[in-house]
Structure formats: C-alpha cells, structure tokens
Amino acid sequence: MNAHHDFPTDEDLILYHYGESPDAEAITAELARSAAAQTRYAELRALLATADEWTPELPADFEGSVWQRLQPRLARERVAPLATPIMAPPPTAPDTAPATLEPTTAAAGRVLPAAHRFGARVRRILPAAAAATLLLAVGYLAGRLATNQPPQPQALSAEARQRLLAETLAEHLERSQRLFTELANAAPEAGAELAAEQRTAEELLSANRLYRTAAERGGREGVAALLAEMEPVLLELAHLPEEPQAADLEFLRRRIDARGLLFKTRVASELLTRSLEPDSPPLTRSTV
C-alpha cells in the first residue's frame, strides 16, 4: 500500500475514477478507511457528473436543418463520377482523410447537363489557371523573400515583390468584400438570383487557396488566416443548389456575420492598400 501521507492525491483519484489507476486496490482500501478521502472523491465525482451536463442546446428541427444542407451535397456526390474535375484528389478513407472542411469532391460541380458541365469546368479552371500563373510568380517571389536567398539578376527588388503581393491580396479582399456585401444586402427571396454571385464565388474560391499559400509564404500570416476563414463561406456559396432556398441565403449570412468577414475583409484590404502608399510604415505580422 502506498504510505504517502496525502495518498490518494487528486490525480490518483482522477485516474481511479477513469479506471486507469495503477494503485486501484490501495485507493479502494483508503476510500473505505478514510472519511476525508471519501469526501474528496465525492467532490470529484460531483464535479465530473456536472461536466456531463455540458451539452449544446439544439433546436427541435436540428435534424431537418442538417438534412437540408446535406441533401444537395449528396445529390452532387451521386453525379461526381461524371463531373469529376480534371485535377481531383485521390479518394481517402473517411477516418484517415486529411484535415479539411471541404468535401473532397466539392469542386465536382452541381448536377448539370453534360454540355453545361464542360462549360462549368472551363469556368472553374480558367480563373484558377490565371490565378495559378500569378501565384506561381507571387509565391515564388514571396518564397524568395522569406528564405533570404540571394536575388537573381532579373529578380524584382524586395520592395517590389511586397508591393506586388500586397496589391494582389488587396484586390482579392476587396472583391470578396463586395461579394459578401451583396449577399448581406440581397433580399431574402433572392435565392434564385444568385447565379452571378455563385460564379464570382467559384472564381474567388480558386484564387483564395492560391493566395493563402502565397500570403503564408510571403509572411502575411494575418491575411492568410483571414483567407482561411473566408474559404468555407466561398465554398458554401459556390456550391449552393441551382435554386437555393431563402434558408440557404440566411445560413450564409449568419456565417459571414459570425466570422465578421465584412469587417475583416474591409479592414485588411484597407491596410494593405494603405501600405502601398508612399512613406507608409512596413506592415508586420501584428497587422497584415
């Protein structure tokens, strides 16, 4: 038996409670013998029983709202083999899938006739390709900046590289802010008229991922974090059903509002733009 005078300790009792104590027999004996130990164990059990009550409140129609969001995605899953994007990632096991909130086949597109699917693919790929070209340049340049490698003879100056990155990001954020504003101001029944916004969201989504990488490589971690926050919202909007319901729109609005995206994109865009002005102090990690 453990002869330590304060046996069992609080830690001993926690392990005992969860069935992981190496001294279980000794603790049982001590609990039978010591009123003080009994009191401490009773307090611990009361605390842990109280913790059991930590459950989020859910509306009565929770399952219905889950299904309302899920069902269109399942429908897209069923047509995924027809609409698989050219650069689709390989399938992964559900319990070992990489960290992502995006459906693996999220880019697979909506249920569209074949001709439209081709058009949709082209629309998706073109902006991505354009953004990729730009980002290859920006990412490369930003990467060079981050790794302090010696500049090549043709390379832009460090200042020019930062300006290029800042301009690109500011424009992207400004465009995203406009989109979020349009959504915030759209009439509730305007769900069926979101096609243009969805196309914009698709373009922004493709660019967003690349810009995030560039921002990370370029040391603009604040912007990278903001872009990461924007991504699920752009994804939701880009993949709304062809005839979205008012509830879909409302869900997106709540998401934009909850994450403060209107405000954040505006401020970040302004800070980036301001950084481009002559004699402006350099931006740091604490800003953007």
Partner 1 sequence: MGRMEDGALELELVGRAAAGDEGAFRTLVDRHGRMVFNLAYRITTDRAAAEDVVQETFLRAYRALHRFDGRAGFGTWIHRIAMNASLDVLRQTRTRREVAYETEEGALDPAPSHVPGPERVAASGDLRRALGRAMGTLTEIERVAFVLRHYEGRSTVEIGEKLGLQSNATRQAVFRAVRKLRLALAPFMTERVHERAAESGAP
The nearer residue to partner 1, 43 or 242, going by C-beta atoms, is 43
Largest CA distance in the chain: 82
CA 106 to chain centre: 14
Contact 204, 234 (CB under 8 A): yes
Position 11 contacts partner 1 (CB under 8 A): yes
Within 52-176, strands assigned E span: none
Which of 3, 32, 35, 51 binds partner 1 (CB under 8 A)? It is 51
Nearest alpha-carbon partner for 285 in 221, 233, 190: 221
Q: For residue 237, give the 3-state DSSP assignment.
A: helix
**Based on CB atoms, which residue is closest to partner 1, 5 or 78?**
78
Determine, following the binding rule CB under 8 A, whether residue 98 of this chain makes contact with partner 1.
Answer: yes
**SS3 call for 19:** coil
81 binds partner 1 (CB under 8 A): no
Q: Report if residue 4 touches partner 1, rule: CB under 8 A.
A: no
Q: Which residues in the 248-287 window bind partner 1 by CB under 8 A?
A: 255, 258-260, 263-264, 267-268, 271, 285-287
Q: How far are the Cα atoms of 17, 67, 84, 120 from residue 55, in angstroms, in the given order?
A: 21, 21, 39, 43
* Binding region for partner 1 (CB under 8 A) out of 65-73, 119-127, 128-136, 164-172: 65-73
- 150 or 285: whose CB is closer to partner 1? 285
The tokens describing 141, both together, are: 């340049």
Window of 46-54, 137-145, 164-172, 190-198 that interacts with partner 1 by CB under 8 A: 46-54
Among 67, 88, 122, 158, binds partner 1 (CB under 8 A): 67
Nearest approach, Cβ of 95 to partner 1 (angstroms)?
5
Q: What are the residues binding partner 1 (CB under 8 A)? A: 10-11, 14-15, 18, 20, 42-58, 62-63, 66-67, 69-71, 73-74, 77-78, 91, 93-101, 103-105, 221-222, 224-225, 228-229, 232, 255, 258-260, 263-264, 267-268, 271, 285-288
